[in-house]
Chain A
């Protein structure tokens, strides 16, 4: 048998100049990537800090009460009818109305699109619709706004009473914009279903629609809801496309075809016309804070749905 000489290890001694190079390299790499991640955290903390500190001054410095702000239906920041009034309920209403309606229009279309791609004609259906969905996602929002303004608004004006602008126009534009979001989430969920699920239903003699409506859709419902929430989040935060077609009147409209506003549209238009630090300007920041708050809610909803989906 061989002798067990337990000499100290010789590796590296021949090239001692490079002895610790790999440690230095690893440390540099790890530090660099960590700094990048840390920067992400710094960014989010500063966004939250700056928006919150500006947005809260409406309540702490300008003395507007939170309930007057959130539930007041009069927006008169320049005090044209006496004292300035900062009620943003019309804009909150506008934001919720447009994004909910958009989700209502887009969801069935998106579900049909993803069923088309995965269940009806999985081959060419996917080849046809996948690029269509990607392109819809790629078109810039100002282009949606422009087309909405030049095609949709005149069309609505001719068909319905009113000027064509308003919640209806805004929701329709937004619905096309969030179609890709809902469709891609739903398609992912549908295509990751186990094969056996469908086949056992067919084996029981169920038709395709019975299989879809009783087996497939209930199974993927949490995923579809996730997609809808993500779509609504996008619609809620979209600024320019909505602003271009909604009319921008600061009140709660009496019909879908009457000029209205959303949180984003008011911020977009007024931010450039107010002086930083004025109460009017602070009120705009408070709306931005409300938008941010809604983002948190949407993220939370998505998380809850994903958790349910996992179980």
Chain B
């Protein structure tokens, strides 16, 4: 039984690669190598609601924190600077905070029950910084709490925090290891090392916790292929890997999920499906329990309107998916988009693409 995904909207909104995307209740926000952060309304307008040039060096990560009517958006530039904005009256207002430089990935966490609200960032030198986020009377402040040092000292590529009461933090590194920390005590619990043949080419591109907090999906490189492994968080053991079905004759030692590197993962709302996007222009939707591919979306340049092809983006360019996010029913309000869960993809084709699952209730 396969799922089908229908493309609902494609906007070529940026002048360079779009590196990251996030979906909050008010809009979809995308950041790009051209240095702009743009917000796209859920009603499907072609023009962005907000468009700010943040850093001419380009932006590569974006995340948001939404609680009690306050929306904070954070984005990191290639210069290593972390920029924060608060969404007030339909405008993105920049916030001034004392933050460390040389950031790479970031993750906000809305505290569950009596947990703290936190912002976590990874640094170029492999450590992770933890800031405590407090909002008092509409005023927002960040306090540096702790630095999670890494003994490996390699570049920390990805970070995620599980959204359950018994939260964990996962950090993925360039040499293929993933470290798990306990959110409350900020102490290290498990470390998974890479199972790939060569550890130099097994960078952990993305780590993602399932919504229930029990599984951790890890996307890492293996030579030029992308592999996805699943780990059990409670016992610290490998639970399996996702392997794409292939018709080719040569048997590959360990299977792979994508033919090129896999850059992004996201679980859907109830954790039954996992979407993965890679540099091989494919986005695969996996059933988590059966580990089988339910749907494949191919990103093609022909999806974009013809008059949009230019010198730097044509049939010979590299196309791939750099980031994707699931969003729930009822968030997008165009074209019957509110019937089902949807996916938003961004990548090297300078566009933001929205899809929804076909078939509705």
Is chain B a partner of chain A in the same complex? no
A residues bordering B, Cβ < 8 Å? Answer: none
Which B residues fall within an 8 A CB radius of A? none
